[in-house]
Structure formats: C-alpha cells, structure tokens
Chains A and B, each alone.
Chain A
Amino acid sequence: MTDVLARQDRALTPEETEALLRDRLGDQILSSSTDFATFTVWVAPGGWHAAAQLCRDESLLAYDLFDCLLGVDARDDGFDVVAVLYSTSTGNRICLRTRCEGGRDAPVCPSLTDVYRGADWMERETYDMFGIDFPGHPGLEPRILTVENFEGWPLRKDFHLASRVAKPWPGVNEPAELDDEGNVIEREPEVGGAPGPYDLDKAMAEQARAVNASEEDQEEGEGTGDDAQASGSEQQDEDEAPAPELDQETYDKLIAEGKSERIARSKAKAALIKKQRAGGGDTGGGGSDEGDGGDDQPSAAEKAEARRKEQAEARRKKAEERAAETGQDDDASDEGAPGADDEEEQA
C-alpha cells in the first residue's frame, strides 16, 4: 500500500502525459481536456490502437488496469468510443476518446482486445448497445446482453422505448421528453382526476386494438435500417408539428410515406397522446380520456394551454437573449419561466 502511494509522486501530470503521447503519435492526438477532474484525450481513429498500446507499454505511463470501454451517441456525427485506463503504479487515470469512422450508418472502431483482455466483453457490450463494429475482435456475435433476436441498438438515441410512447409518465413532470417548443411537458395534477392504472390499461388496450385492426403484419423489423430509422424520425418530427391528425390518420400517412410500421405506430400513438394532453377529451379516435372527463375540464385544458404558451414565450425570449450573449446560466432560464416550480423536492 505505502509503496503504491510513494510511487504516485513520480506520476506524470496530464500535460506531461499529453506531451508524451503527442511526441510518440504526432497528429493522431487531437486534443485533451481535464474538465470535471477527468483527463480525456481525443485520439484520431487511426491512432486508437497505437495510443492504447503506448499507454500500456510505455513505462512512464504504465496504464495496466483496463477500467472500462463505452460508446456514446454523438448525434449527427455518429458515435464516440471511450476507453478508461488506470495505472495501479502511478494512480493516474486516462480516458481515451475517439470518434468512430463511418458516421451513423456503419460505425467502426479498431478493437483493443489484443492490448487488453478486458476489452473483449466491453466491446461486445458496446456492439450490442450501439451497433459499433470492432474489426479485430474475435467474435461480437451472439449479442452479449440482449436477447438473440433483438432488433435495433438500444442505446442509440433514435431507439425509442415502446412503453414510453404508449403510456405517459406516471408522475407530474415528464423527466426526459420535451414538447415541440422545447418545454418541459407538465400535466395538470387534478385532485381525484388522476388516471388510475386501469384507465391507462384500458386506453392502451384500445389503442392497440385500433392499430391492430388496421394493420396485421407487424413483424417487419426495424433493425434492418437504423440509418433509415434515424433520418426517418427526424423527418417525422417536422411533418408532425404542423398537422397532428388523428392517431389513425398519422399512422396511415406514415405508412404511405414508406416508414417502418413500428415507427409509424409509435409516432401515431405519440401524436394521439400529445393531442389528448393539449386538448382534453374532445378528440375521438379510440383514445383514453386520461381520467379527467369532467365538466370543468375545458377550462383546465385552456389554462394548461395558456400556461404552456407562456412558458414557450419565456423560453424563446430567454433563448434569444442567450443567443445574444452566449454563456448564460441554464438554471436561471428555468426559474424565469412560470410554472416550473413544482419540481422542488427538497424542503
């Protein structure tokens, strides 16, 4: 124990480490950062393998513990792969990060399995979650975590959770989803009017029946074309905003556009739910009434609508301000918006 700590004195600082890596690998080292106490070095994909090898073999670095390897969705640029290495002799940690070649369609990253044994399963997991190919890996198939015939790559951002589309978040605030203007979706908590589990189940069953009645063959996979799915969903967001029709119509439209069925179905359901939230119970089309089918409901709905508009307005103003003077704090804008206050959990 003590000799480990003593050797930490000889450890290289992040700057020295970066200089050493640059010296050996030249322009394969792109940049580095030490934000949030995390030393990250960006490596070009071509230097990925060499960088890892250097980190292990160079006696000044001696990163011997293979900590972790993970993928990150980098939006339109494709995917990143991060390898975290640790040195038990110096107590240093380094995060090597690279952007996969091949964009979103066919991300590829060289395998590190011949440098670190531990990369084996980590890379299989990354393949399973993101669909990143690791040439040089002894065998990425069969999929390590998900069931063998699973379709799609779960951790890509364009993989939607079916349950979340079909069923609204049971709490007041949607944690992750934002509406079209980028606002937090909030539901009016009405005393005694919250939809119980049975109402939701009924609504889901009805939706499912409505969808099933129109389309029988649902087995067409979505995993066949993730790229198509990605561009498709983006396109869809544009389509959907101006004219959200009935659940069924959205669905038909999407099918006519040649979208995959599962996407169409999810989108159509999302459209229906969105409409119900916005307009109360006045939509037909086999949806649920969200349990609030009372007399005074139009006013509540209007209130909610007005409030949302207000929020959107405030949001937009803030956004403009922020655009004008970049670097404004995010939290301030939230507090500026009215109605964002029932978030607080702590007394």
Chain B
Amino acid sequence: MGVMDQVELPKPVKYVFNWGRKYSLWCFNFGLACCAIEFIAASTSRHDFIRHGVIPFAHGPRQADLLVVSGTLTDKMAPAVKRLYEEMPEPKYVISFGSCANCGGPYWDSYSVTKGVDQIIPVDVYVPGCPPRPEALLDGIIALQDMIQKESLKERIAGRRLDPITLGADEPLPSDSSPALPSGGRAP
C-alpha cells in the first residue's frame, strides 16, 4: 500500500481512487449453508451482481477484497473463518449474509452454532433474512459501495473500522461521521 496508509489523499484523488475500488470488488464467497445457494443465485444471470462490479471469481482469500460469509457458522468451522479473514489483504470488507451469519438465526439456541460471525471477525454490512433474497444481497453490496466511496483509506488501514450498517434500519445510511447503529448492532 505504500503511502496510502501514511498520508490523507487530497479529496479529488480520494474520490477517484475510491470510485475505482468500489467497482472492482473481488469477492470470496465463504458459502456455509443454505444462504450460499442464494448467493450463487445472486451471481448467476437473473440477478447478476457482476454488473455492480463484484467479481465472484477470487481464487482464494489472498486475492479477495470482499468476504461474503453466507450461512451458519459452527464452532467447528469458526477457526477456519478467522484464518481465512486474516489471510485477506487490507483493505478488506465483510458482508454477513443471512440470519445465521448475523446472529445464529433459527439456530440461536443450538449448542454447536456460533451466534454470529461478528463474534470472530468484524463485519461491515449485515444482510438479514433466512435466506435473504438475492435482491437483498444487491442492496447490501450497494450499501457497502457507498461506504467505500466515503471512507478514507488512511483511516481504514490504520485499523479504524467504520461502524456496521444494518439494512432495513430506519436511519439513513451512515456517512463518515454518523454511524447508523452502535457497533454490534444486530440485524432484526
């Protein structure tokens, strides 16, 4: 990244830079359960999120900017997700897709399910639903892109994560200064 994490870019440069980044999100799908099927549906011809600049062909976590965790995270699986996240290069973004990934979903009282992927890795966008419709994923992607457009790469890399967005919350999408929900906010 070089100078990016040292200096704050001038505004026009930042704008162009972020514009470029937000439309080339190489996406790694961590498909865990039923929601992964809806993720695939969102990537195929009917819904087609490639037209939003999300490319679901990342060969591995090391080549990915965006991690979509779709499905139930179990305690047995949790270390693998953490490792995968750590393998991704900065700046990296996470979309938690589906109620299970958000908070445990219908398995909220299970003995073997991790109640939310945000207990392990930081999440940028929560997409609620069981399973969410592909359209909801498109909405989540657009929300993430708005966030990328507004953010400062310097701050991001310095480890200051922006607060998560919850789709469907009444508040407007957050700008740099006004987060929508306190961190740890849950999808309904």
- Are B109 and A161 neighbours in the complex by a CB distance under 8 Å? yes
Nearest A residue to B112, CB-CB: A146
Interface residues of A in 150-207 (CB under 8 A from B): 150, 154, 159, 161-164, 167, 197
Of A161, A167, A197, the residue contacting B186 (CB under 8 A) is A197
Q: Does B112 lie within 8 Å of A164, measured CB to CB?
A: no
Contact present for A163 and B109 (CB under 8 Å) = yes
> Chain B: interface secondary structure?
loop
B76 within 8 A of A: yes
In whole angstroms, how far apart are the Cα atoms of A137 and B108 in the complex? 34
On whether the beta carbons of A161 and B76 are closer than 8 Å, the reply is no
Q: Tell me if A147 and B75 are in contact (CB < 8 A).
A: yes
Which chain B residue has the least Cβ–Cβ distance from A201?
B186
State the Cβ distance, A49 to closest chain B Cβ, in Å: 32
| Chain A, interface SS category | loop
Within 8 A of B (CB), among A111-151: 145-147, 150
A161 and B112 in contact, given A146-B76, A147-B75, A197-B186 (Cβ under 8 angstroms): no
Count B interface residues, CB 8 Å.
11
Contacts of B110 in A (CB 8 A): 161, 163
User: Residues on A close to B: CB < 8 A?
Assistant: 145-147, 150, 154, 159, 161-164, 167, 197
How distant is A146 from chain B, measured CB to nearest CB, in Å?
Answer: 6
Q: How far is the CB of A149 from chain B (nearest CB, A)?
A: 10
Minimal Cβ-Cβ distance residue in B for A154: B111
Residues 170 to 188 of chain B near chain A (Cβ within 8 Å): 186, 188
Judge whether A147 and B112 touch: CB under 8 Å. Answer: yes
Of chain B, the residue at the smallest CB distance from A170 is B108
Within 8 A of A (CB), among B90-111: 108-111
Report the separation of the CA atoms of residues A113 and B110 in the bound assembly, to the nearest whole angstrom.
Answer: 30
Interfacial chain A residues near B186, Cβ < 8 Å:
197
Closest to B185 in A: A198
Q: Which residue of B lies closest to A145 (CB)?
A: B112
Which residue from chain A places its CB closest to the CB of B78 in the assembled complex?
A: A147
Chain B residues with Cβ below 8 Å from A146 are 76, 112
Q: Provide the residues of chain A in CB contact with B112, threshold 8 Å.
A: 145-147, 150, 154
